[in-house]
Structure 1
Amino acid sequence: MDMRTRISAALKEAMKQKDTDRLSTLRLINAAIKDRDIASRGEGEDDMVGDAEVLQILGKMVKQRQESARAYEEGGRLELAEKERAEIAVIEQFLPRQLSDEETARAVDAAIEETGASSIRDMGRVMGVLKSKYTGQMDFGAVGPTVKARLS
């Protein structure tokens, strides 16, 4: 079952159960996906975005909510931080399991070996391989410094 179908099914289920918090988050996900569809049409692409792009959208949404929750906590708005965390929980149900630090290190080593990377100039190729294989499973912002350290 593709991502759009899973999200639509979850949306219908949330409507049936009258789960307003989950429903609003699922509607936000749908809106973000439709925005990306519209943007891709503007670039001349006819197809709707695929599962890989949906995973990127979901990953970005999680990261945004983590930053918001942190800001709310620093501002003493704990109820808003809790709302952001609840949205993260809903979004993460559609993301694949995050790789552990050990699994991430093995994936980085494998990508370096696969690309034959030997210097920092090859970092883009290594990151490209990681993104193609592990979209939604690792935080590429955190992996970048690891790749850089291994290639230095």
Structure 2
Amino acid sequence: MDLRTRLNDALKSAMREKQAQRLSTLRLINAAIKDREIDQRGKGDEATEVTDDVILSILGKMVKQRQESARAYEEGGRLELAENERNEIEIIEEFLPKQLSEDEVEAAVAKAITDVGANSIRDMGKVMGQLKSKYTGQMDFGAVGPKVKARLG
């Protein structure tokens, strides 16, 4: 079952079971996906249906945004809003693949470096491209970048 179908099934289920927070979050996800489709159409891209990889990247961004918001709310003493953001993160993460552990990330970085034959910092883009094609939604590329840089530099 593709990701889009899983999201739509979850949305229908949330409606039937009257789960307001879950329904709201799933609608936000669908709106983000529709925005991406409209954006692609505007650029003349005929394939207006977004792929699972694109949906995974959208979900990853949504999680990151909510993590930042939760931190900001905590710093501002708005704990109820921070809790709301964390609840949304949990719902979004249901549709993301399992995150890799630190050791798995290190192994994936080492393998990508050898696979592309990287030997200098100039090859960082190739390594990151390899990692993104294989591990979208499974690792935080903002944290992986410095690790790749350290190994190549």
Query: TM-score normalised to the size of structure 2?
Result: 0.99
Percent identical across equivalent pairs? 71
* Correspondence for 1:30: 30
Distance across 2 between alignment mates of 1:69 and 1:40: 30
TM-score by length of 1: 0.99
Other structure's SS at 1:37 match: helix
| Distance (whole Å) between structure 1 residues aligned to residue 91 and residue 46 of structure 2 | 30
Q: Which deviations, in whole Å up to 9, do the C-alpha atoms of 1:45-82 show, x marking residues without a partner?
A: 12211000000000000000000000000000000000
Q: For residue 143 of structure 1, give the secondary structure of its aligned residue in structure 2.
A: helix
The superposition leaves residues 80-118 of structure 1 with CA deviations (integer Å, 9 ceiling, x where unpaired) of 000000000000000000000000000000000000000
* Match of residue 112 from structure 2: 111
Structure 1 CA distance for aligned equivalents of residues 101 and 57 of structure 2 = 19
Q: Which one-letter code corresponds to 2:34 in the other structure?
A: K
Q: Tell me how far apart the structure 2 counterparts of residues 85 and 40 of structure 1 sit (CA, whole Å).
A: 30
Matched residue, 1:7: 7
Work out the number of aligned pairs and report it: 152
Q: Distance in 2 between matches of 1:34 and 1:60?
A: 15
Matched position secondary structure for 2:9: helix
**TM superposition outliers: structure 1 runs of 4+ over 2 Å:** none
Matched, 1:130 2:131: yes
1:44 partner amino acid: G
Structure 2 unmatched runs, 5+ = none
CA positional deviation for 1:15? 0.4
* 1:120 paired residue number: 121
For structure 1, the 5+ residue unaligned runs are none
Q: CA RMSD in A?
A: 0.4
